[in-house]
Every structure is written in C-alpha cells, then in structure tokens.
Amino acid sequence: MSTQTNKTVSSKAKKVTTHVLLEMKEKGEKIAMLTAYDFSMARLIDQAGIDVILVGDSASNVMAGHETTLPITLDQMIYHAASVIRGIQSSLVVVDLPFGTYQGNSKEALNSSIRIMKESGAHAVKMEGGSEIIESVLRIVSAGIPVMGHLGLMPQSIYKYGTYVVRAKESEEADKLISDAIKLEEAGCFAIVLEKIPATLAEKVAKTVRIPVIGIGAGGDVDGQVLVLHDMLGITQEFSPRFLRRYGNLADQIKSGVSAYIEDVKSLDFPNKNEQY
Ligand code: KIV
C-alpha cells in the first residue's frame, strides 16, 4: 500500500460520522459537541478533538447581536457553515435550519437542507420540533441528508413560550416530548438535542431511543453534551444559566489585551525598532 493510500485510509478512519456517534452511544462513550460559526474557532475546536460542531442559529445572538435566533437567514447560515467546514478535519458538522426555512412544508424543508449541504459542504442539518416536522424529516432523510432533532426548549418558538424557562416540567408536555423523540427516531433522525428540560426526563428519553441524545441543560444521564462556544469560553458575559459551566474568561482576556495595545500605541511603545522594516 502506498503512503498516499495509507494517509487517505487513516484520515478517513479518524472522521466522526453519524455511525460513529451511534457506536459511541452503544459503548457508553459520551459525545462532546460545541457550536462554532467561523473558520478560526472551528479549526481550534476540531484540533482539540471535539466530536460534533453545531453551526447553530445561536449565531444570530452571539455573532450578529440579535435578541433571538429568528432573524438569521439561510444565506447567513450557509456562510457560517462554509467557513466552519474550511476549518475542520475530523468533526461532524451539523447546521441549524433557520426559522422560516422549513416550517412551511416538507418541500421547503428539503430545498433548504439541500442548499445547506450543497453550498456549505456540511454533513447534516438540525431542526426544532416533534410531530409537526416528521413529514419533513422523512423527506430530507430520504434524500440522503442526515437530520438531528431538537426538543425541549426550542428557541425558534420563543414568542410562543414567552420565556426561556425549563420546559416539560408538567406531565402533558413531558409525555409529548417522549412521544416526539420516538417519532423523530422512527422518521430517521440520527440524534436528538434536548434543551433545558428536567434531568430525569432527559434520562428517560436517552434510555428509550437507540439514537444518541445530546443535552444542554438536560443533566448528565444522556449520551452527550452541547454548549454554545462563546458562553463556555466566557466571551458572552451577561448569559449565565445554571447549566452553563465556563471553561475560560476570554472576555476579560480580550479586553485586557486590547487595553494594553491601546496603551502601547498611545505611549509610542508600539511598534518598537524590532517591529518595523
Ligand atoms: O443554536 C444553537 O446553538 C443550539 C444549541 C443551543 C443546541 O441549537
């Protein structure tokens, strides 16, 4: 076997696929997922070994400064996703279908998914909803596009809820969530995100379905965890729900680096003789 062939085989073997995620669940190995929206961050978290990168519509909040996820467009999501794809070697890249690009009907959902896959090179799409989106999931999966579901707190429905509080605390909503998870699995979803629901309910869902269940604010008894990168690195400061663990304080580091630079420029310390031509 030539070196070139070896290289191809080993780099392929390293790639995270939807099947790898299923195997991870079967083996009890937890899945680590984070959001990213640009080339540089995607490259860093891929190099750090993240399993799944979500190009979330949270880009609407953390990249564009909107209050909700609703304003972000399909073109903007494709731009973010294509940037992420250029930065990665092995992570699986999943892209959110933005609000208003799939709820109309299953043909619209399929067309939006095809645009994401074709124009960004992403590996899968994610959609919010249960029984309401089953027809779309079936149609997208039958076109060969892997779909990740998203239940519990669904930020695209914030104006229906009126608040970002924990979902499915009452039995009626909890029962619907379990039944929705089963329907999403039956329709062919390869994984489901559960956002901000009681840990006991999330555990029950993870034990009920065979596909991986990835939680955010859903406790530890699920198959993996996802956080918004800007939140866990401490770039966003004002958002601090109970489920968020911070792994850095980049806001302070960025501000002190920039302050030091301003000081150096104003005091004529920068650039010095070694920093010029
Ligand atoms: O858009 C996003 O970042 C998400 C995660 C919170 C799961 O959907």
74-87 and 39-47 are packed helices; what angle lies between their axes, rounded to 10 degrees?
A: 40
183 C-beta neighbours (distance < 10 Å), count:
16
Gap from CA of 226 to ligand 1 centroid (Å): 8
Q: Is the pLDDT of residue 253 over 60?
A: yes
Q: What angle, 0 to 180 degrees and rounded to 10, lies between the N-to-C axes of helices 134-142 and 106-120?
A: 40
Cα 190–chain centre separation = 14
Q: Which residues form the catalytic set?
A: 195
In 48-198, alpha helices (H): 59-62, 74-87, 106-120, 134-142, 158-161, 171-187
Domain boundaries, the chain: 3-246, 249-277
Q: How far is 29 from 188, CA to CA, in rounded Å?
A: 22
pLDDT of residue 24: 98
Q: pLDDT, tens digit, for every residue of 4-49?
A: 434 444 444 479 999 999 999 999 999 999 999 999 999 999 999 9
Q: Is 193 in the pocket of ligand 1 (CB under 6 A)?
A: yes
Quick check: CB of 216 below 6 Å from ligand 1? yes
Q: What is the pLDDT of residue 238?
A: 87
Q: What is the mean pLDDT of residues 84-100?
A: 98
pLDDT at 231 over 50: yes
CATH T-level topology, domain 3-246 = TIM Barrel (3.20.20)
CB 212 within 8 Å of CB 17 = no
Residue with tokens 């850095």: 248
Q: What is the pTM of this model?
A: 0.94
Report which protein residue has its CA nearest ligand 1's atom 1. Answer: 56
CA pair distance 234, 249, nearest whole angstrom: 4
pLDDT tier at 222 (50, 70, 90 boundaries)?
very high
User: Tell me, what's the pLDDT at 109?
Assistant: 98
Model pLDDT for residues 2-14, shown as the tens digit of each residue: 434 344 444 444 7
The dihedral of CA 246, 247, 252, 255: what is its sign?
A: negative
Is the pLDDT reported for residue 135 higher than 60? yes
For residue 26, give Cα distances in angstroms to 22, 42, 182, 213, 219: 6, 27, 18, 12, 19
What are 156-190's pLDDT values in tens digits?
999 999 999 999 999 999 999 999 999 999 999 99
